[in-house]
Amino acid sequence: MPRLRPFPAYLLASLAMLAFSAFLAFALIRLFQVEKDMRNNVDENMLWVVTQAQVASHRLDQAVSRRALGHRDADPELRLDILSSRLTLMDDGPQRRYLAAQGLEATLEAALDHLDALLATVDNTEGEARFLPAALMPHLDGLMGRLNRIANAVMMAEWESTGARLDTYRNSLMQVIGSVVGITLSGLALMLLLIHALRQRRIAQRALTSHRDQLEEEIARHISRYKETADALARALNRERGVSEFYRSFAAMVSHQFRTPLAVIDSGLQRLLRRDHQFTAEQRSERYQRLREAVEQMTRLVESSLTAARLEGQQVEASPTRHSLIAIVDHLCRLQAEAHGVERLITEHGSPAAFAWCDRALTEQVLTNLISNALKYSPADQPVQITTAQEGGQAVCRVANGGPGIPSAEQARLFERFFRGSNAAGTDGIGLGLNIARHLARIQQGDLEVRSSPGEGSVFTLRLPAADPEEATDVPA
């Protein structure tokens, strides 16, 4: 009887590695598909757009009724402009395609027709009769009815879509769990094969005693290199996860923050187009200034977001040299005075030797943020105090304002990304400035601190490594 040949060990190892790779690739593909599907959903944004249009229509209805009852503080013109901008947003690109996919394109067209009828009635009527309920209510009621129908359909579609996604995610999760089990089994098989190989290797090493020391040294060197590579890959993976999380947060923030200035610009331009002949030159200038402020706000949002992305990707590096904090502060105060006519910046230099070892561009960016915040959050008649000094081995710059102060419970979170305090309501910003400023300070081996009490203002302190003033190589502004 012929003797069976043993199954080759390398073939078993190859099969185990192939299974391991297949299970791992399948799990990664499923996870990538789930993550991509989660990013591509537009239901939640669509529901927000429809809801805002509904609210705008109800507020217009209320303003028309109040005007008819004699309330002079009612402003139906503004409510009509806001409603027009909301419906314009619904009629734009992805929103319109979404409604068409849900079979609501005709309903949207009917709503837009009612809006055109409203605008025509208002534009073709003079005096107080422009907003009489008898003339507007038929169109307004029809518009509100169409919006209610769209809102109900969008909500039902979102519920159905959410249920379908949950079922898909559940199935994907079970598949990933199965893949993990397969990976575990494949790993166990590889481990057993590795143990067997190590035993065979130990037997062979007994016959190669003359080369044992050399082999051990070679193995240790390889293991060290593999460990360094693994550590580098782990750090890169953590950095990539942080960047991915930032971009997801940034996308959500942009979809919310950019909508407000865009709506302001769109509404202002529509009013100028429709009633330009009714405005005086001073009123037109005021509206142009508002549009410029909205554009400047969007520019600041973009610049802050790009800087935060560079910091998150570790693409910002400091090139420190010796600089005078006094020269930097005086230069920034002079720029503020020339650009904005600000005359309430008061500087006080406690030590002529306030030299810092820093990157001038990064330091100017930090101080510009602190000075701008101090001017923004303090009363217009209150001065902003800026002092420089050298304390031990640190060069220090303090920016103090007489604003409302920061609650103690919020000070610990003040430097977190996207965090805005309760006293920041009504002011523009996205909560990135102080987070970026602290990162830039720490890149230069310094730090940024805050001390504040409600009702007594706030003091922000920038600390940088001190430099020898005799070797200062300050770069001219």
Q: What is the pLDDT of residue 201?
A: 78
What is the DSSP pairing of strand 355-358 with strand 321-324? antiparallel
Distance of CA 201 to the CA centre of its chain: 55
Please state the rounded mean pLDDT for residues 429-444. 81
Is 349 contained in some domain?
Answer: yes
**Which helix (H) or strand (E) element contains residue 206?**
helix 133-206
pLDDT band at 120 (very low <50, low <70, confident <90, very high): confident
Range of the domain at 61: 1-207
Which is higher by pLDDT, 119 or 278? 119
Q: What is the pLDDT of residue 6?
A: 53
Q: What is the pLDDT of residue 475?
A: 44
| Same-domain check for residues 333 and 192 | no
Q: What is the pLDDT of residues 38-48, one digit of tens each?
A: 655 544 567 78
Q: What is the pLDDT of residue 302?
A: 62
Q: CA 129, 130, 136, 139 torsion: positive or negative?
A: positive
Q: What is the pLDDT of residues 5-32, one digit of tens each?
A: 555 666 777 777 787 788 778 777 877 7
pLDDT band at 472 (very low <50, low <70, confident <90, very high): very low
Q: Is 399 helix (H, G, I), strand (E, B) or coil?
A: strand
Is 290 contained in some domain?
Answer: no
Name the H helices within 40-104: 43-68, 76-90, 93-101
Contact predicate 458/403, CB 8 Å: yes
| Same-domain check for residues 53 and 200 | yes
Is 255 contained in some domain?
Answer: no
What CATH number is given to the structural domain containing 170? 1.20.1420
Question: How high does pLDDT run on average in the chain?
Answer: 77
Name the domain count of the chain.
2
Least confident span in 296-305, 334-343, 374-383: 296-305
Q: What is the pLDDT of residue 186?
A: 78
Q: What is the pLDDT of residue 461?
A: 93
- pLDDT of 145 higher than 60: yes
Nearest to 260 by CA among 98, 85, 466, 457: 85
Q: What is the pLDDT of residue 430?
A: 65
| Same-domain check for residues 192 and 329 | no
Which is higher by pLDDT, 4 or 90? 90
Contact predicate 377/369, CB 8 Å: no
Is 420 contained in some domain?
Answer: yes
Please state the rounded mean pLDDT for residues 441-465. 89
Q: What is the pLDDT of residue 463?
A: 92
Contact predicate 185/17, CB 8 Å: no
What CATH number is given to the structural domain containing 353? 3.30.565.10
Least confident span in 77-81, 83-87, 210-214, 443-447: 210-214
Is 261 contained in some domain?
Answer: no
Q: What is the pLDDT of residues 194-235, one digit of tens each?
A: 787 778 878 877 777 777 777 777 788 878 887 888 887 887
Last residue of a domain, one of 157, 177, 207: 207
What DSSP assignment string belongs to 335-356?
HHHHHH----EEEEES-TT-EE
Q: What is the pLDDT of residue 477?
A: 36
Is 446 contained in some domain?
Answer: yes
Last residue of a domain, one of 207, 234, 261: 207
Q: What is the pLDDT of residue 79?
A: 85
Q: CA 270, 273, 276, 277 torsion: positive or negative?
A: negative
